[in-house]
Structure 1
Amino acid sequence: MTLPEAPLDAHDQEQRLLEAVEDRFPATIARLSGLVRIPSVSWDAFDRVHVQRSAERTAELLRELELFDAVEIEGVETSDGYTGQPAVIATRQAEPGQPTVLLYAHHDVQPQGSADDWRTPPFEPTLRDGRLYGRGASDDKAGIMTHIAALEALGTATSGRPRIGLSVFIEGEEENGSRSFSDFLAKHRAALGADAIIVADSDNPSTTTPGLTVSLRGNVTMKVTVRTLGHASHSGMLGGAVPDAMLAAVRLLDTLWDADGAVAVAGLGTRSGGLAGGDEADIRRDAELLDGVMTIGRGSVHDRLWNQPAITITGIDAPSVAEASNTLLPVVSVRLSARIAPGDDAAEAYAALERHLTEHAPFGARIEITQPDVGQPFLVDTAGPAVGLMKSAMRDGWGVDAAETGIGGSIPFIAALAEVYPDAEILVTGVEDPATMAHSPNESQDLGVLRRAISAEGLFLLRFARPDTDVS
């Protein structure tokens, strides 16, 4: 007669979980490497077949855990006829009286950019000095593997019977604006409902200190077209008498900042924050700021990065230097990206920027603003019990206390999650560090950070179960 395995107490379960993370870590790296090999760029100009392959592999990894009642792949059609990139959704019903956790990450990636800027092939994962290099190695395929490896360890610790409910949502178009995100949530609102939501798509202050992101800036983007002439003209014939579009565009764009490089657009607010941040030396090091080049803006470093607006010119349609001719350009278009402070409204910020550009048009130039896109900023309520539980799990998984941090970047869909699930606590975690270089050539994932992030999330999932239910 075979007796059933005696239930483990909480301490033994945690030890078993941490041992499982360590034992399976080589397999975790191998699975992450397999995901990195799939060039799942979600931008419209790229082949969707790779995003589909990535979704299928992600779904396969989730099914292999044998924890879920259902694992599905789906692309949702939006009201304007756009079919979203394939997302992966997995669900497991909670035991009676137990809470549910939703785990979010995304399997799509940014384009590689110029291959010449990579020291190793972007879609051939390469291990070097404790880091895994490749596009998406960190953002956000390491986020996927954090969830999968933590769930795997949770299954080991609970003998395949975790008490909490589990939902997983691995998006396929985060890097392309999450265009079908709201429609996907509307369709799967009940299935994805949870008491706590872990978004594994942020960063950490260093490779040895975990970060719990509690403040995110919003984002406003637009295309600005400047017109001054009906046609191109010879610069020697009319230059100096009529304004070409490039001159007008340069003068217009210069009004967006003051002499210190701080944003000078009325209506874009700032927020006073109490979060600890880095110093000027950290910024110079992380950005590899050249000797003699000054930082911009005013106030503390963390206020400039997390609590104040920032505007960047991210693209310009104009002849390249190699193709330049002695011509007065009749029209120039630029792409603007504005980060807006937590607490600001994205639609109001867009209106303020639009108003500024229109009112500051030089020489009577005609300004056309198109392709608007906005994402709301977000502030986490840090008083909830799940926040405290995550901090405790991070402390035990990393060996040091977690830092409450902000990020200057934007994760607009978090505001959508908060709107659809107002009672859920949203925990923004991640596996990036200052050397990750997400979105840039030579993106990489520190493997020590990945291991500790898995341990912390696994401990959170184990501890999130309510103690008033029998462990067996």
Structure 2
Amino acid sequence: MSDLVDQVKSVLPSVRADLEDLVRIESVWADPDRRAEVHRSAEAVSKLLAQAGFHDIRTVSEGGAPAVIARRPAPAGAPTVLLYAHHDVQPEGDPSQWASPPFTPTERDGRLYGRGTADDKAGIATHLAAIRAFGDDLPVGVTVFVEGEEESGSPTLSALLAAHRDLLAADVIVIADSDNWSTTTPSLTVSLRGLADCVVEVATLDHGLHSGMWGGVVPDALSALVRLLASLHDDDGNVAVVGLHQGTAADVDYPADHIRKETGILDGVTEIGSGSVTDRLWAKPAITVIGIDTTPIAKASNTLIPSARAKVSMRVAPGGDARAHLAALTRHLEEHAPWGARVTVTAGDVGEPYAIAANGPVYDAARTAFRQAWGVDPIDTGVGGSIPFIAEFANAFPDAKILVTGVEDPATQAHSVDESLDLGVLERAATSEALLLAALGALDR
């Protein structure tokens, strides 16, 4: 074990340099003007895998972003492990809000800042470090699958899995796209909420009216929309839509001061919902209004607005059906229209939740690897966010054991400004993965 740990340490400087080169590529698939950068990113990943000893490397696409599949065959009798990450990143938002340029990797206080440093080019770096540590002597077969449109909801993943099922088939799937409890305590993610969203449009008039002439008699669409959106929660902030699934999460202490520190809740603002923090984060539905289309203040006039729209995002608790939940949300919006306003709901993305029965030899090996690399036992956690493709992997490869790991921590700020990677976590995550591969190669078979 000590030799393998030393090997990981020895390759980390080159892995970090490669990670920084990847971060400099603006691989934002959601931006049509930067899709060429996503192709350039796929080429860079292919070259890195070739340098790591992979000869069977393919860049594939089923009508969407380029993904990279690279394979090294298993030694006789050894299992095959699929290592997943994605090379596309979220848009950076307003660059002036970043402390350093978003696509210029910058180290401060032991953290590497930049878009994709953690989510999820660090996943690629973790896989590279584990693979390089073994050199030519991998104890298992390894297939690396690096997707290119995860941040856009993986719309063509099902087609990729169907078209390349034989290439991607594996006994164990390691998905490096989650987070850790802290920079000193690792997590094994065992449940994830699903996702369903929609756009709701409210209309009260066929044209705008003078608010002085008709205000107080004729309802404006924006007020109607606000009242409709307010009906989605009760006074305590619990979701008020009927028919949604709720579960119970693991009994893990999540102190209130940690919530304030990790989220930046303003003084005087309270939490919403009832029940334990972990229940509310991992095992209950959540509904958020994430955007509104209406007249901007700069262009406002004394006019009753005839129509307004909002995008509503719902998280689905493990055990729930995302499509059924979207139908329940749609019914609620249609049935709670104030003042007879016309409501039109347009369905958006749907991703199923997933829960993992994390027991057996593979999961025992993973927990041992975490303990050896981090010096403490991992915590089995849920994730409030959604990674819908995990359910797709489970459906495509029902016999494979799925491990959801990651290199993020509560200070990472993935998807936000000043995204960052704790470099110590990168080392421990890479060491864990190398030890896991060694353990899987030694399992009785």
Relative to the length of structure 2, the TM-score reads 0.98
Which residue of structure 2 aligns with residue 151 of structure 1?
A: 131
User: What SS does structure 2 have at the residue aligned with 1:352?
Assistant: helix
Task: Please report the RMSD computed on the Cα atoms of aligned residues, expressed in angstroms.
Answer: 1.2
The equivalent of 1:203 in structure 2 is 179
What is the SS of the residue equivalent to 1:47?
helix
Give distance in 1, aligned partners of 2:434 and 2:408.
18
Kindly state the Cα deviation for residue 44 of structure 1 after the two structures are TM-superposed: 4.7
Question: Contact (CA 8 Å) 1:154, 1:461: kept in 2 or not?
Answer: no
User: Take 1:232 and 1:130, find their aligned partners in 2: how far apart are those partners?
Assistant: 56
Q: Which moved more, 1:267-276 or 1:387-396?
A: 267-276
1:284-433 matched pairs, under 5 angstroms:
284-433=260-409
CA–CA distance in structure 2, aligned partners of residues 58 and 437 of structure 1:
24
Q: Which residue of 2 aligns with 1:114?
A: 94
**Does the alignment pair 1:175 with 2:155?**
no
Taking a change above 3 Å as real, the CA distance of residues 87 and 292 of structure 1, as seen in their structure-2 partners, is same
Q: Report how far residue 117 of structure 1 moved.
A: 1.1
Contact 1:384 1:425 in 2 (8 A): no
Quote the residue 1:184 is aligned against.
Answer: 160
CA offset digits 1:398-423 (Å, max 9, x no partner): 11110001110000000000001111
8 Å contact kept, 1:136–1:142: yes
SS, match of residue 434 in structure 2: helix
Letter in 1 for 2:126: T
State whether structure 2 residue 69 is matched by structure 1 residue 89.
yes
| Corresponding residue to 1:456 among 425, 432, 442 | 432
Identity %: 54
Structure 1 residue 34 and structure 2 residue 21: aligned? yes
Q: Corresponding residue for 1:271?
A: 247
Match of 1:63 in 2: 50
> 2:343 & 2:282 partners in 1: Cα distance?
30
Distance 1:395 1:409 in 2: 25
Give structure 1 stretches of 5+ with no counterpart: 1-13, 77-82
Change (3 A) 1:439 1:467: closer
Alpha-carbon contact 1:210-1:402 (below 8 Å) kept: yes
Q: Give the corresponding residue for 1:443.
A: 419
CA distances 1:324-343 after superposition (whole Å, capped 9, x unpaired): 22221111111111011110
Q: Please give the alpha-carbon distance, in whole angstroms, between the structure 2 residues aligned to 1:437 and 1:54.
A: 22
Q: Distance in 2 between matches of 1:44 and 1:230?
A: 34
Label 1:467 to 1:442 Cα distance change in 2 as closer, same or farther (>3 A): closer
- Alignment of 1:48 with 2:28, yes or no, is no
Kindly provide the CA deviation profile for residues 436-460 of structure 1, in whole angstroms up to 9, marking residues without a partner as x: 0000000000000000000000100
More displaced 10-residue stretch of structure 1: 18-27 or 271-280? 271-280
Letter in 2 for 1:22: K
* Distance across 2 between alignment mates of 1:409 and 1:429: 14
* Structure 1 runs of 4+ with >4 Å offset: none
User: Which digits, 9 at most, give the CA deviation of each residue in 1:32-64, with x for residues without a partner?
Assistant: 111110010010544210100111111111110
Aligned length: 445
Deviations, residues 4-23 of structure 1 (Å, cap 9, x unaligned): xxxxxxxxxx3222112111
Q: Is the 8 A contact 1:393 1:460 kept in 2?
A: yes
CA contact (8 A) 1:154 1:462 kept: no
Q: Does 1:73 align with 2:53?
A: no
DSSP 3-state at the match of 1:395:
helix
C-alpha displacement of 1:467: 5.4
Residues 347-377 of structure 1: per-residue CA shift (max 9 Å, x gap): 1111110111111111111111114211110
Decide whether the 8 Å contact of 1:275 with 1:405 is kept in 2.
no
Deviation at 1:69, TM superposition (A): 3.7
Task: Work out which of the residue numbers 104, 108, 121 in structure 2 matches 1:128.
Answer: 108
Partners of 1:39 and 1:427 in 2: how far apart? 28
Aligned residue identity for 2:58: E
Separation in 1, partners of 2:321, 2:443: 40
AA of the residue aligned to 1:101: V
Equivalent position of 2:2 in the other structure = 15
Any residues of structure 2 matched to 1:230-269 within 5 Å, and which? 230-269=206-245
Partner SS, residue 243 of structure 1:
coil
Contiguous gaps of at least 5 residues in structure 2? none
Query: Residues of 1 paired with 2:379 and 2:180: CA distance?
Result: 8
Q: Evaluate the alpha carbon distance shift between residue 48 and residue 462 of structure 1 in structure 2; reply closer, same or farther with a 3 A threshold.
A: same
Counterpart residue number, 1:9: none
C-alpha contact 2:289 2:312 (8 A) present in aligned 1? yes
Residue 7 of structure 1 is matched in structure 2 by: none
1:3 alignment partner in structure 2: none
How far apart are the structure 1 equivalents of 2:443 and 2:177?
Answer: 29
